[in-house]
Amino acid sequence: MQHTTLSLRHGLLALAVVAVWGTNFVVIRLGLDQFPPFLFAGLRFSLAALPGVFFLPRPAVPWRNLAAYGVVIGSGQFGLLFLAMNGHISPGLASLVIQVQVFFTIFISMARTGERLQAFQIVSFLLAIAGIVVIASHVNGHTTPLGLGLVLLAAACWASGNIIAREGAPRNFLAYVVWGSLFSAPPLLAMSLIVDGPTAIAHALSHATPSAWVAVIWQSLGNSWFGYASWAFLLARYPSAIISPMALLVPVFGMAASVVWLGEPMPAWKLSAAALVIIGLAVSVFYPRLRLLRVA
């Protein structure tokens, strides 16, 4: 039975999840100081998969669906995101820009079903695009056109992963993520071997500090295991209309953490871009629910 009022305990759990997901962008930046991007991402998914696959039953979905999800999310979303954050975009902006995956998900879904964009979706998309344009007009040494482009591609891969997961319809999403990670890690490690070479990989692994390994653990156990397990727990007990909007706080935590821990500056243009993107996301999330309430 689903509840209609979020309890304080479960509200704090939802807040903890989005805090982990948001601050994760700073953790990525710190981990990239010691690991090459593809190696770091490969380690993340290796630990997310092992030893979890020995304890969680394989989801009742086709192997091709699991493989597609693992490759698109691993090599696509996180491979590109880590590559972008390796000196091409700041963590705060990365946490914001990648949220446009919401719109990519809508567009891909519509392309597959033949649905048309509604007026509120056009408004929300234009607001978010205006925010991205503001960011693009202020590219500099900390955020480059390449970095912005890579994060947008990562967002498109995330959206593709959402569609793949929806079509697979796994009952246990944590198990789906863990088993999908089996297909995420090998391509990333192979790309690291090609791009970085065995010597660089061996040097990174042998010289990594405890903080670097904490970053890997945060990525796999905190971001994947705790995050997805807790989110699935909450969605099983409350309507998605109550839980899903909490995800709007992810870029807020991401940008705040980047300011506090990394000293990322927050000039007016960056705050304006954040406001436009977040308001656009909010319109996309809340307007359909408000319309249903008005009709009821």
Residue 7 domain flag: no
DSSP state of 171: S
Domains contained in the chain, number = 1
pLDDT of residue 4: 67
Query: What's the burial of 282, exposed, middle or buried (CB within 10 Å: 0-12/13-18/19+)?
Result: middle
Query: What per-residue confidence (pLDDT) applies to 2?
Result: 63
pLDDT at 293 over 80: no
Asked whether residue 296 carries a pLDDT value surpassing 60, the answer given is no
The DSSP-derived string for 235-262 is: HHHS-HHHHGGGGGGHHHHHHHHHHHHH
Rounded CA separation 134/283 (Å): 19
Furthest-apart CA atoms within the chain: distance in Å: 64
C-alpha angle with apex 149: 227 to 221, nearest 5 degrees?
15
Please check whether residue 5 lies inside any domain of the structure.
no
Q: Is the pLDDT of residue 121 over 80?
A: yes
Whether 9 maps to a domain, the answer reads no
* 28: containing domain: 18-295
Mean pLDDT of 208-237: 90
Q: Distance between CA atoms of 139 and 147, rounded to whole angstroms? A: 9
Task: Report the pLDDT averaged over residues 255-277.
Answer: 94
What does residue 33 show for φ and ψ, rounded to 5 degrees? Answer: -70, -20
Is 27 domain-assigned?
yes
**Whole-structure pTM value:** 0.92
Give, to the nearest 10 degrees, the angle between helix 250-262 and helix 8-31.
50
Residue 250 lies in a domain: yes
| 91/291: higher pLDDT | 91
Assess if residue 185 is contained within a domain: yes
Classify residue 43: in a domain, yes or no. Answer: yes
- What's the distance, Cα to Cα, between the start and end of the chain in Å? 22
Q: Average pLDDT, stretch 163-171?
A: 90
What amino acid is encoded at 210 in this protein? P
* Residue 93 located in a structural domain: yes
pLDDT tens profile 38-88: 999 999 999 999 999 999 999 999 999 999 999 999 999 999 999 999 999
pLDDT at 139: 83
What is the separation of C-alpha 12 from the centre of its chain, rounded to a whole number of angstroms? Answer: 20
- What is the overall mean pLDDT for the chain? 91
